[in-house]
Amino acid sequence: MHLQLPGATLSLDRPVVMGILNVTPDSFSDGGDFRDPGVAIGRARAMIGEGAAIIDIGGESTRPGAVPVTADDEMRRVIPVIEALSGSIEAVISVDTTKPEVMAAAIQAGAVMINDVNALRAPGALDVAAATDAAVCLMHMQGEPRTMQQDPRYGDVVAEVSAFLAERARHCLEAGISRRRIVVDPGFGFGKTLAHNLRMMRDLDRFLALDLALLVGVSRKSMIGAVLERPVQDRLAGSLALAVFAVTRGASIVRVHDVGPTVDALRMIAAVDAAEPPDAEG
């Protein structure tokens, strides 16, 4: 499998790591750490050095209860970073946004992928994506960030999330976005309880029936804190465990804060998978 990008492809024959770069003041884990463009650019280069294949740059927090920001504010945060990285790095540049204005500006600045927690449902978003050759990531979210965790309910969470992603992918295909440009994300923590998140992770391979590249983002999330009773800064072990589990269930992309340790964990899995069987004894 591969992900089609403008003028290039990204091989997904082995799982790849997407590094999270939040240029926001209020993201749940690293809010405020990378607001300065120079610091953000340095962090992006460091993650690439650690093995990130994709850098996902976001200028608006989508944590539960997050306050929305204007498109102008979001662009002021992300565009200088994208422009500075474009053409100077080999990694894929992704923009994490729900706003069509930001999508268009980011693509013009050098981004080649749109990561949208709203699955291109905002008016004009699908048109912007279809007018480019950019890859798109469609995520499931029940509700919206300010209220999504108040009382999420499902009958069969995997079936319902799969149906939503299939429907959004159908809209993309009808708009002219080819199947190999589409990634889907079940949206762990976005309008789901702990039980929903654990069920989705356990049955993650059911999403492979969509025949689309699968992205999983659980790095440092509250589901880890709930199970392990750890604060955000102490969730590396849980994040690595879930990243490893996700790729064994078919995830092609894992979106993480801790790139180096995740890359190491995935390299170990790849080494085991590639091990030759012992010679038969005569």
**Separation of alpha carbons 185 and 139, rounded Å:** 4
Looking only at the bridges linking them, the beta strands covering 8-11 and 2-5 are antiparallel
Task: Tell whether the model's pLDDT for residue 282 goes beyond 50.
Answer: no
What is the spatial distance between Cα 230 and Cα 237, in angstroms, rounded to a whole number? 10
Domain count, the chain: 1
Provide the pLDDT for residue 261: 97
Q: What is the DSSP string of 183-238?
A: EEE--TTSS--HHHHHHHHHTGGGGGGG-SEEEE--TT-HHHHHHH---GGG-HHH
Residue 65: pLDDT band by 50, 70, 90 thresholds?
low
Is residue 214 predicted with pLDDT exceeding 90? yes
d(CA 227, CA 249): 20
Q: Is the pLDDT of residue 26 over 50?
A: no
Taking 3-state DSSP, the helix, strand and coil percentages for the chain, each rounded to the nearest 5, stand at: 45, 15, 40
More confident residue, 172 or 31: 172
CA-CA distances (angstroms) from residue 216 to 72, 76, 176?
29, 28, 25
Would you say residue 27 has pLDDT above 50?
Answer: no
Give me the percent of the chain exceeding a pLDDT of 90.
78
| pLDDT of res. 148 | 57
Q: What is the mean pLDDT of residues 9-37?
A: 77
Dihedral over Cα of 25, 235, 156, 209: its sign:
positive
* 282 inside domain: no
Q: Is residue 24 part of a domain?
A: yes
pTM of the model: 0.91
> Mean pLDDT throughout 256-279?
91
Q: How confident is the model at residue 35 (pLDDT cuts 50, 70, 90)?
A: low
Kindly list the catalytic residues: 221, 255
In a domain, 95, yes or no: yes
pLDDT higher than threshold 50 for residue 262: yes
- What average pLDDT does the chain have? 91
Residue 9, domain member (yes or no): no
Report whether pLDDT(256) > 80. Answer: yes
pLDDT tens sequence across 140-177: 998 776 665 667 889 999 999 999 999 999 999 999 99
- The answer to whether 113 touches 137, Cβ cutoff 8 Å, is yes
**Domain limits for position 99:** 16-270
Q: Which helix (H) or strand (E) holds 245?
A: helix 236-248
Whether 3 is in a domain gets the answer no
pLDDT band at 68 (very low <50, low <70, confident <90, very high): confident
Q: Is residue 89 included in any domain, yes or no?
A: yes
pLDDT at 61 over 50: yes
Does residue 209 have a pLDDT over 60? yes
Helix (H, G, I), strand (E, B) or coil at 22: strand
Position 193 in a domain: yes
Does residue 7 sit within a domain? no
Strand-pair partners of 8: 5
- Residue spans of beta strands (DSSP E) within the chain: 2-5, 8-11, 16-22, 54-58, 92-96, 113-116, 135-139, 182-185, 213-216, 253-256
CATH code where residue 50 lies? 3.20.20.20
